[in-house]
Amino acid sequence: MKVTYRWLKEFVDFKETPAELAGMLTEAGLEVEEVEPRIKPFTDVVVGYVNKAEKHPNADKLSVCEVKTDEGTYQVICGAPNVKQGQYVPFAKVGAQLPIGIKLKKAKIRGVESFGMICSKEELGLEAHSDGIWAFDKEYPLGADVYRLLEEEYQDWIFDIAITPNRGDCLSVYGIAREVAALTGNPLKPIQVKVEEASSERVEDLVKIEIHDTEGCPRYAGRIIRNVKIAPSPEWMQQKLEAVGLRPINNIVDITNYVLMELGHPLHAFDLATLSGPEIHVRASKPGERFVTLDDKERILPENTVMICDAEKAVAIGGIMGGQNSEVSDSTQNIFLESAYFKPERIATASKRLGLSTDASQRFERGTDPENVVRAIDRAAQLMVELADGEVVQGIYDVYPQPIKQNEIPLNTERINRILGTDFDKEAIRQKLLSIQLQVKGDRVIVPTFRHDLSIVEDLAEEVARLTGYSNLPAHDRATIPYDMPISEHERQMRFFREELLALGLQEIFTQSMVKKEEAFAFASEEPIKIKNPVSDDMAFMRPSLLAGMLKAVSHNLNRNNRNLRFFEIGRIFTHFDGKNIPTQPYSLAVVITGNRYLPAWNVSEQWVDFYDIKGYLETFLRKIFLDNYQIILYDKSKYMTPEETIAIQSGDELLGVGGRIHPDVCAVFDIEHPVFAFELNVDVLTKHVLFERQYQPIPKFPYSERDIALLLDEGITAADVVEFVKKNGGSLLQSVDIFDVYQGDKIPAGKRSLGLRLRYQSAERTLSDREVDKYFRQIINKTTKHFSASLRK
C-alpha cells in the first residue's frame, strides 16, 4: 500500500518528519518498508522553449527541434509524437544526470547532431510510463532549474507500507490517516462529501437492481450521473494517482481510482447506454460460463463467482474486474456508478481460481466496510460533478436486505493488563480505543464495521499495545510458559489410536498428500482431485487414499533390501467436492505389511505374511480400541484389492474400512513384486462407534466353565454368522465364543464342513454349577442346530 506524506496531511495536521512518521507507523504494526522522495535528484535540466519543430530529414518518426534557454538555443532530436512549437519543456543539457540513471552525452542521430534532450515525466522519475514529452501547462522563466521548481511545487514522500491481511481498513489513505491521528494525538479531519442532485429524475425510475446472490453480495448500491464530459483529469489528481502507482486514464476512471485510494472502497463506472434494461442483477456464475474482461481476455468463470449482469448479459466479475461490453469510452455520456460490499471469502476464492488479482479484489478479499458503500459512491458523484460537469440523478438505489451489525466486545481491563504486563486504568485504555474510532459504552466496546478483525478481548489488548508502542511496554526478566498445552478432543483420539498402533509393533510414517496421476487413479473410486498449478507431474493430484503414499514408501524400502515392513499412517485424504469450494477431506488410518512373518533366525523357517496376518492386526487393533459392535464380512467391491482376499469392517449400516491383499496390478504401478497386505479405516466414521470413556471393572473372582461343540454345517454358512448367533442367544452368563477348529475333508460329507466352538460361561457373583452351565449349553445347541439346520459332529 502506497500513500504520500502530503496526502496524509490533508486529513491530519501533524508536525512529524517523514522519517519520524515512518518510525511511528512501523512501531504500531504498519511496517513502512520504504520512504522515497517523489522528486528524485537530477542535475542540469532547465526550462526550455521550443522555437520550432520540424520533421527529421532521414526518419519519419523523429523531429529536429530548436530549444531556447537563457543561455542560447540548442538543436535537439526528439522522438515524441506530441512535441510542437511554442511549448515550455524540461530540457536536459549535455552532461545532465537524470534520475533514471542516464548521463546525457552529445549524439548524432540519423546524421543529425543532438545537443540535449527534451524530457518526459518518465525520464524525470515522475511516472512509470510516458507516451510523450512533458509540456508544462504554464510559463516558467527560461533557464530555471527544473529540479528546484519541482521540489518547491511537487516534492512529496511516498510511503510503501506492508499491510497485513487482517488490516483491510488500512488499504486507503484515510485508513492510514486514522492511524496517524491516533499515534500523533491530532484530530482526524472528516472527508467533506456533498452531492448536488441537479437532475429532476429519480434513480428508481431509470434503473432496476436485484440481488439474487445475497450471500456473495450482501449490499449493492448505484447512482446515475448524466451528461458527463470525458476528458483528462486535473493535474493534482494525476499527480496523486501517479505517486501511489496508478496511471491516469480519463476523469471518470481516475475518479473511481482516486476514491479507491482515498477511502479504500472500490467502485465501478458503467456506460449506462450499454446496460440492457437498464437493469442490474447480481447472481452466482453458471457452470462453464465465459466472460471477456477489460484486459481483453476471455475467462472461464469458476462456479459460484459473483457476477454483475444486466437484463441480457454479464457485464462485470463482481469485486474483481469489469467487462469490455460496458466500459467507459470517449463517447460515454451517462454513467451508472456501482458501489457494493462483497463477501471476502467469495472474492478471494474467485480471484485465486481465475488467477486475476486487482486493486479491487485485494481490498474486497481482505474485507471492506459495508457502511462505506454510500459514502464512497457519494464522494465519486461529487467529483464527477466538479471534474466532469456531470448532473447527478436524485437518490441512491441501495439494496441492503440484511444489514451487517457492529460487533461488541467486553472491556476487560484486568485481562488486558495481564496480557500486556501493564497497569493501565480503564480510562487510559478507553482513550486508546477511542483514538481509533472504537466506541466504549460502559463495559462494552462497540467495534465499527471497518474493523472486522476485532472480535475478542485479546484483539483489544493488541490495539492498546501497538498504540502505546511495543517498545514502551514493560519488560520482565521472567516469563511463565505453560508447557502442558491442552489438546483438542480430536487430537486426543488420534493420539490414542497412534499409541495402540505403536504398541502392535508398527512403525509410523508420514507421506506426501500429493501424488502422480496413475497413483491417484489406482485408488480413486471417482475422478481424483487435480491440482490446478502442480509443482510437478509427480505431485499433480491429491491422494484419494493413504495407501498411495505408503506403497511408495514400501517400494523405496524394498529397492534398498529392507523387506520386513510394518507401517501405519494417520492423515487426511481428499475425495470429492460435494458442491463446495474445497474437497471433502476425511481422516484415514492405514496399515501396510509385507515381508517375513517372523524375524529371520536359525530355528525359524522363512514364512511370508499372508491375508490372516493383516486380518490379525486389524482384529487386534479393534479390540485394543474397545470397538465391540462391528462385523467382518467378505467384500469384493474394492478397486485396489484382490476380491478373493478382501474383507470389509462395518458397524451397523456404516462401512468402517476394508482390508486384504493389494491387487498385483496396483503393486505394479509402484514397481512392487512382493505381496503386500493392508487395511484402511475411515477415522471420522470409526470415532462415532468407539466409546473413548471407559469404566474399570475388576476381574471376576469366581472361576469360569468352558464347553466345546463341533457343528456340521453347510459350507455356505459363514463362521461369523454362527458366532454372532451364539453370542446373541447364549444367555447372560456366556462371556465369550471362540473358534478352535474348522475342518473339511475325510469323513465329512461333500458340501459340509465342521466348525468347532469353545463357549466360556462365568458369573461375577458366584461359582456356577455344572448343572447350570449344562442347561444353558443344551439350550444354545438346540437353538443353533435348528436355526442353521446343522447337526453335531461325533
Spatial contact of 574 and 620, defined as CB atoms under 8 Å apart? no
DSSP string, 253-283: HHHHHHHHHHHS--EEEEEGGGSSTTEEEEE
Mean pLDDT score, 96-103:
90
The whole-angstrom distance between residue 281's C-alpha and the CA centroid of its chain comes to: 27
CA distance 687 to 678: 20
- Per-residue pLDDT band at 273 (split at 50, 70, 90): very high
HEC profile for 550-616?
HHHHHHHHHCCCCCCEEEEEEEECCCCCCCCCCCCCCEEEEEEEECECCCCECCECCCECCHHHHHH
Which of 313, 220, 227 has its CA nearest to residue 265? Answer: 220
Euclidean distance between CA atoms 169 and 367, whole angstroms: 8
Task: For residue 503, give the nearest of 597, 682, 625, 593 by alpha carbon.
Answer: 625
Residue 579 has pLDDT above 70, yes or no: no
Q: What angle do CA 276, 216, 320 make, to 5 degrees?
A: 65
Residue 784: pLDDT over 90: yes
Q: How many helices (H) and strands (E) does the chain have?
A: 21, 38
The mean pLDDT of 567-575, rounded to a whole number, is 95
Give me the helix-helix angle, 372-388 and 251-263, nearest 10°.
140
Q: What is the pLDDT of residues 106-151, one digit of tens each?
A: 999 998 999 999 999 889 888 778 889 999 988 899 999 999 998 8
- Reading the block at residue 246, the C-alpha cell is 496508478
Q: What is the pLDDT of residues 296-349, one digit of tens each?
A: 899 999 989 999 999 999 999 999 999 988 999 999 999 999 999 999 999 999
Give the Cα separation of 377 and 382 in Å (integer).
9
CA distance 280 to 391: 21
**Judging by beta carbons within 10 Å of its beta carbon (0-12, 13-18, 19+), is residue 639 exposed, middle or buried?**
middle
Q: What is the reported pTM?
A: 0.62
Exposure string over 460-475, b if 16+ CB within 10 A, otherwise e: bbbbbbbbbeeeeeee
What cell numbers appear for 698 in the block?
475388576
Note the pLDDT of residue 580: 67
Alpha carbons 69 and 92: distance in angstroms, whole number: 11
Whether the pLDDT of residue 154 is over 90: the answer is no
Q: Mean per-residue pLDDT for 731-750? A: 90
pLDDT of residue 479: 65
DSSP string, 494-532: HHHHHHHHHHTT-EE----SEE-HHHHHTT-SSPPPBPS
Residues counted in the chain: 794
**Cell triple for residue 143?**
533557464
> What mean pLDDT comes out for the span 355-380?
95
Write the pLDDT tens digit of every residue in 472-482: 888 776 667 77
Q: What is the mean pLDDT of residues 255-269?
A: 96
Q: Specify whether the CB–CB gap between 497 and 692 falls below 8 A.
A: no
Cα separation, 455 vs 353, whole angstroms: 29
In 3D, which of 372, 670, 396 has the Cα closest to residue 548?
A: 670
**CA–CA separation, 794 and 712 (whole Å):** 9
Task: Tell me which residue of 304, 300, 213, 290 sits closest to 577, measured CA to CA.
Answer: 304
User: How far apart are alpha carbons 183 and 468 in whole angstroms?
Assistant: 8
Average pLDDT over residues 280-295: 92
Helix (H, G, I), strand (E, B) or coil at 759: strand
- Convert the pLDDT of each residue in 517-570 to its tens digit: 999 999 988 888 999 888 898 999 999 999 999 999 999 999 999 999 999 999
List of residues 6+ apart from 327 with CB closer than 8 A: 270, 271, 294
* Amino acid code (one letter) for 13: D
- Residue 689: phi, psi to the nearest 5? -105, -5
| Residues in CB range of 495: below 8 A, 6 or more apart | 487
Rounded Cα distance between 49 and 698, Å, is 107
Helix (H, G, I), strand (E, B) or coil at 249: coil
Per residue in 669-718, pLDDT (tens digit) is 999 999 999 999 999 999 988 877 777 778 888 999 999 999 999 988 98
Q: Which of 705, 641, 623 lies closest to 677 in space, CA to CA? A: 641
- Rounded distance, CA 209 to CA 664, Å? 62
Q: Which residues lie across from 280 on neighbouring strands? A: 209
C-alpha cell at 436: 481509533
With beta carbons less than 8 A apart as the criterion, state whether 687 and 675 touch: no
pLDDT at 42 over 90: yes
- Look over the chain and give the mean of its residue pLDDT values, rounded to a whole number: 92
Q: What pLDDT score does 493 carry? A: 92
How many Cβ atoms sit within 10 Å of the Cβ of residue 443? Answer: 10
284 CB neighbour count, 10 Å cutoff: 18
680's grid cell: 484402511
Q: What is the C-alpha to C-alpha distance for residues 266 and 139, in angstroms, rounded to an integer?
A: 37
Work out the pLDDT band at 600, boundaries 50, 70, 90. confident
What pLDDT, on the 0 to 100 scale, is given for residue 700?
A: 84
Q: Work out the burial of residue 220: count CB atoms within 10 Å of its CB; fewer than 13 is exposed, 13-18 middle, 19 or more buried.
A: buried
CA 478 to chain centre: 38
pLDDT digits (tens, 9 = 90+) for 724-739: 899 999 988 999 999 9
DSSP track, 666-724: HHHHTT--S--EEEEEEHHHHHHH--------PPPSSPPEEEEEEEEEETTS-HHHHHH
